[in-house]
Structures are given as structure tokens and as C-alpha cells.
Structure 1
Amino acid sequence: MSKKEHSTINNLQVLFEDNHLIVINKRPGDIVQGDKTGDQPLSDTVKAFLKKKYNKPGNVYLGVVHRLDRPTSGIVVFAKTSKALPRLNKMFAEKDAKKTYWAIVKNSPEEPEKRLVHWMKRNTKQNKSYANIKEVPDSKKAILTYKILKKLDRYFLLEVDLETGRHHQIRSQLTAIGSPIKGDLKYGFDRSNADGSIHLHARRLRLMHPVKKEPLEIIAPPPNDPIWNACL
């Protein structure tokens, strides 16, 4: 194991772990699953962490349940058993796992709290989704609810609850109402963050444990930077 890999494993922030699942606070910039960049995905880092922690011989089972965009931080759930994986997949697919995000935006929305309904159309060449007020061909309905939690010096902290899970949904819908997320050049913010992150964080997850059938609530602290720290 290289020094870099060892450091990455040691810096892994585990929010919850038992025999069936492990929940990680993803750092901005990490990818959840392998892609064409060839960068080490979080799934491999978690496998290496479990292998080292439990001194496991051979391969470690780990199921990817859902993803977060690379520049986004926050809660990512992995299944540690083949029993838990299909149950977690079903929960996320049927929206029984309730996800709440924090977003720091440039402009205050017109209303302090609102349910937004758009029709989302994805452009795969641009890797971008466009939020339309009315239904257009090949679009999917996208719904979220936001509320303003705090006014910062130059920004606003929003809490966002998702009702649907569309590609880049929060980023696109907030831009559609004139409130792009800090650092999100792709969706209309005027400059990028120095580390390539955006100020969007998967803050809270509520779900039933896939095996024990007990309610779980997981909260992830946001990244350690001055603007996020001002929100706490």
C-alpha cells in the first residue's frame, strides 16, 4: 500500500457502520465508483479500509447503493452484505430513503420556502440537465422543497429535501430560480471554487435499517472551510 493510499484510508470519515452497511462522509472531489478518469473511487478506498480494519483475506464485498456528484460532499451508503444491497437499492429507488441537502447559493430565492416542480431534460453530451417549467419531449418530472436556513455575509444557506432523484436535480432547479450554487460554473455560478468543489452537501439521511428494520438517521458535518463553518 502506497503512502497516499494509506493516508486516504486513514482520512476516511465513517458516519455509521455495522455488519450490513457502512456510511461515509464523502469529500468533494472523490468519485463514488470508477470512471474514465481512472482515479481511485471511494468504493475501492472503503474496501481497503474494511480489509485493513478486519484483517480480511481475499476480496471484500461492498455494494454501491447510490452516488453523489464528484464536486459534492456528504453522505454515501454502501452495503457490506448481499442481503442488505437489494433492500437498500429498493429503498433508494422507491424514495423510502429521505435525503436532505445543504446548498450555499449566491442569490436569495424570492420566497423563503417553496416546493419546486420542473421537467428535467438531460443533455448527455454536455453532462448537464435543464429544468423546464412545462413538460418537454424526453423530460422527467423533478420535485424538491427548499427553505432558507441562514443568511451569510454574501450567500444564503438553503436546506433542500428531494422528492425525486434526477441527474443534477438540485443544481439545475436552483439555477432555474436564479440561485446557483457557490462554485458551480456548469450551472451558472460566476467562478469556481479553488478546489473544484461546489457548496452542495448531502447533510442528512433517514431510512429504515435494511435488516434490523429500525429507523436510522445519519447526519454528516460539512467540509471544513470558512463558509461552511459559518453555517454551523
Structure 2
Amino acid sequence: MNNDQNTEVDEIEDELFEHFRFDVPKGQLLLRIDKFLMNLIPNATRNKIQNAATAGDIYVNDLPVKSNYKVKPFDVVRIMLSHPPFENRVDPENIPLDIVYEDDALLLINKPAGLVVHPGHGNYTGTLVNALAYHFENLPKNSSERPGLVHRIDKDTTGLLVIAKTEAAMTHLAKQFEAKTSEREYVALVWGTMKEDEGTIEGNIARHVKDRMQMSVFADPEIGKPAVTHYKVLERFGYVTLVSCVLETGRTHQIRVHMKHIGHPIFNDARYGGDLILKGTTFTKYKQFIDNCFKILPRQALHAKTLGFVHPTTGEMMRFDTELPQDMQDCIEKWRNYSKSHHSDEEEN
């Protein structure tokens, strides 16, 4: 909604709703706003964006701009329309949920691959929030007006999510995640042989300057938000490594970005280059082996395995653990067998 207090009277008659918001990063080069938005909004054409600018729907720092406006660092770009965005309307959908635990205050869900957590650009239906709206009534809303959600994981990442069923539980759990006292462990299969058995990755995370669908690590402490990932090697397979990652912070794509940053992208993570053959031999048989692995696991090899938090009502420390999903287990087993049979041929990568 438009926050310009000078137009408060107008808003009663013609209320505006924020459909998109982009905070322009410090490193952004001067760029026409129509080109800038084309890179960010899925399925947007330059013609549509120019029409929106002509209609006065594109705002920069609370003022409408034309399509030739050039965005600069720290601008706040918003698209404001007279109707609410689709993602704020949640239609209940009968989508089955894998409920690991449930009581009066909360529930834990083991999310499958392919299930988007909440409605957003390009995914207005078929999300976890649509499923929650079907199975539960009057879930509390978080700060983004999304019912039940305390945290989220990516569409093609599997694993544990805690859902709040009461306002008190939402507040209590959200504070734990914010204070970094919740425990979150992920298991990932990454490219390359990790030199150290364990370590910590630190680096601020913000949107990539050129590819807005990606996040990136920035050395400048003024860009992005601090992010800390602790990792430990579980098993080595020569060209790939199985690792445990414990999150200290919870930034968008954190493990995926941090692993790429240290030269070990997650196996088959298309967004961060892990769907290419990054380590190994040039043999045709090896390429066929990798293709078979990608077919078995057609997504990034990342699973939210364990989750721990203090129960908002009882004060008890609760810890939950899940098995790796079958596609990850099958892919890991293929690598384990490959590693054993090709051990003598492998070199450190």
C-alpha cells in the first residue's frame, strides 16, 4: 500500500496495492527502469512495463516515473495497482501434507520436492500455503501476511518446516529464528572434494547485481545481510562430497550461495551452475553416469534434515529428524558405488 501520507484522502477512494517491490543494491549500474524490471519480473514484456509506466503504476521512492527513468543504487522501486496482488488471496486446495508432528500450538511438515512454500510471482496456486488453508482454519499470519509460516525452504529443497497454529506460537517461534537459537541442519551433495573436514562460511548475501533470480556473496559489509553456514564432511565420493550444513542465519538460498562461493556448488543446482559437469573425467561413460544421476535426482541435492526449537507452550527443547528423500538416497548410492569401483583412477579435485 502507498505509504505517502500526503495522499491519505485519495487512498480511501482509490487504494493502491503493492504488487512488486525491489530495493536497488549499492552496486547497481544506471539502467532504464523498463530494462531493470524485465530482468526481475517473470513473464514481463518491455511493452507491458512501458504501459504500466504510462499508466503511472511504477513508483521510485514513492513518486511515479516514466519508462526511461534510470534506476540508481538505493532506489526503492514499486509497482502499485488498484487491486490486491494474487498472492495475497489464498484459495484452499486439497493438497496432501506429510505431517511429522502436530499439537495445539504447531505442526511439523516434511516438504516434498517441487512444492512451493507460498504463493508468489508465477506460483499463485498449488503451494504449501494453499494446502494449509484447506487443512487448517484461522492460522496466524506472519509479518508478510502468510498464514502459519515461520520460515521457508526453496521449491526443490525437501525437508522439515515448522508451522505455527496460534498467534502466541507464531511470535515465540519467529523470535527463536530471529535470535538464531533454532537448530537447522541440512544435508547436501556438493561438487568437488572438500579440503577440510569441517569449516565455516561467512559472507553477506544479497541479490546478484546482474541476475536478479540469483543471490550472491558480497565482501562489502554494507551490502546484503550477514550469513553464516557451518559445514562438516559426512562422506567423500571423489568428484562430489556429502556434507552436513548447520545454519546460523537463514538467508534466501543461503547454503546454495555459500557452497558456490567456496567453489562447491550443490549437485544439480541449475540456478547456481551445479547442473553442469564441474568435476571428473572427459570419458563418455562418466558423462553418461552423471546424466543418469541427474535423471534420478532432477533437482538440487539439498534436504532440511533436522530441526530443533523450544516449544512455545511447554518450554521443552524439541528436535526432529527426517530420512533423506528417496531420490537423494538413490543418487548418493550411485556415487558410493562409482567411488568404490573407480577409486584407483580418481585424482583430487
TM-score (norm 1): 0.83
What is the rounded CA distance, in whole Å, between the counterparts of 1:75 and 1:228 in structure 2?
20
Seen in structure 2, the aligned counterparts of structure 1 residues 228 and 216 have a Cα distance that, compared at 3 Å, is farther
1:103 aligns with 2:164: no
Asked whether the equivalents of residues 193 and 239 of structure 2 are also in contact (C-alpha less than 8 Å), the reply is: no
1:69 aligns with 2:173: no
What is the rounded CA distance, in whole Å, between the counterparts of 2:118 and 2:249 in structure 1?
22
What residue identity is the alignment partner of 1:167?
T
What residue identity is the alignment partner of 2:322?
A
Asked whether the equivalents of residues 73 and 200 of structure 1 are also in contact (C-alpha less than 8 Å), the reply is: yes
Q: Cα deviations across residues 151-172 of structure 1 (Å, max 9, x unaligned)? A: 2475311000111222211111
Q: What secondary structure does 2:125 align onto?
A: coil
Q: Which has the higher contact order (CA 8 A, sep 6+)?
A: 1
Deviation at 1:136, TM superposition (A): 5.2
2:213 to 90, 110, 127: 127
1:48 aligns with 2:48: no
1:13 to 94, 98, 104: 98
- What does 1:26-45 align with in structure 2 at a 5 Å threshold? 26-36=111-121, 37-45=123-131
Matched with 1:159 is 244
Matched with 1:227 is 331
1:179 to 253, 264, 275: 264
Asked whether the equivalents of residues 207 and 214 of structure 2 are also in contact (C-alpha less than 8 Å), the reply is: yes
Asked whether the equivalents of residues 71 and 196 of structure 1 are also in contact (C-alpha less than 8 Å), the reply is: no
RMSD: 2.4
Asked whether the equivalents of residues 109 and 177 of structure 1 are also in contact (C-alpha less than 8 Å), the reply is: no
Asked whether the equivalents of residues 32 and 43 of structure 1 are also in contact (C-alpha less than 8 Å), the reply is: yes
1:78 to 132, 141, 163: 163
Deviation at 1:119, TM superposition (A): 2.5
What is the rounded CA distance, in whole Å, between the counterparts of 1:80 and 1:229 in structure 2?
38
What is the rounded CA distance, in whole Å, between the counterparts of 1:89 and 1:49 in structure 2?
22
Seen in structure 2, the aligned counterparts of structure 1 residues 122 and 19 have a Cα distance that, compared at 3 Å, is same
What is the rounded CA distance, in whole Å, between the counterparts of 1:90 and 1:24 in structure 2?
20
What is the rounded CA distance, in whole Å, between the counterparts of 2:205 and 2:168 in structure 1?
34
1:202 aligns with 2:300: no
Deviation at 1:44, TM superposition (A): 2.2
What is the rounded CA distance, in whole Å, between the counterparts of 1:215 and 1:128 in structure 2?
35
Structure 2 unmatched runs, 5+: 1-92, 140-146, 277-290, 336-349
Q: Cα deviations across residues 1-24 of structure 1 (Å, max 9, x unaligned)? A: xxxx65x41xx2211111110110
Asked whether the equivalents of residues 204 and 223 of structure 2 are also in contact (C-alpha less than 8 Å), the reply is: no
Deviation at 1:138, TM superposition (A): 1.8
Percent of aligned pairs with the same residue? 30
What is the rounded CA distance, in whole Å, between the counterparts of 2:171 and 2:266 in structure 1?
33
What is the rounded CA distance, in whole Å, between the counterparts of 1:82 and 1:119 in structure 2?
31
Asked whether the equivalents of residues 29 and 196 of structure 1 are also in contact (C-alpha less than 8 Å), the reply is: no
Seen in structure 2, the aligned counterparts of structure 1 residues 154 and 110 have a Cα distance that, compared at 3 Å, is closer
Of 195-204 and 79-88, deviating more is: 195-204
Q: Which has the larger radius of gyration?
A: 2
1:168 aligns with 2:270: no
Deviation at 1:100, TM superposition (A): 0.8
1:213 aligns with 2:298: no
Q: Which has the higher strand share?
A: 1
Of 98-107 and 221-230, deviating more is: 221-230
Matched with 1:55 is none
Matched with 1:143 is 228
What is the rounded CA distance, in whole Å, between the counterparts of 2:240 and 2:208 in structure 1?
29
Q: Which has the higher helix share?
A: 2
Matched with 2:42 is none
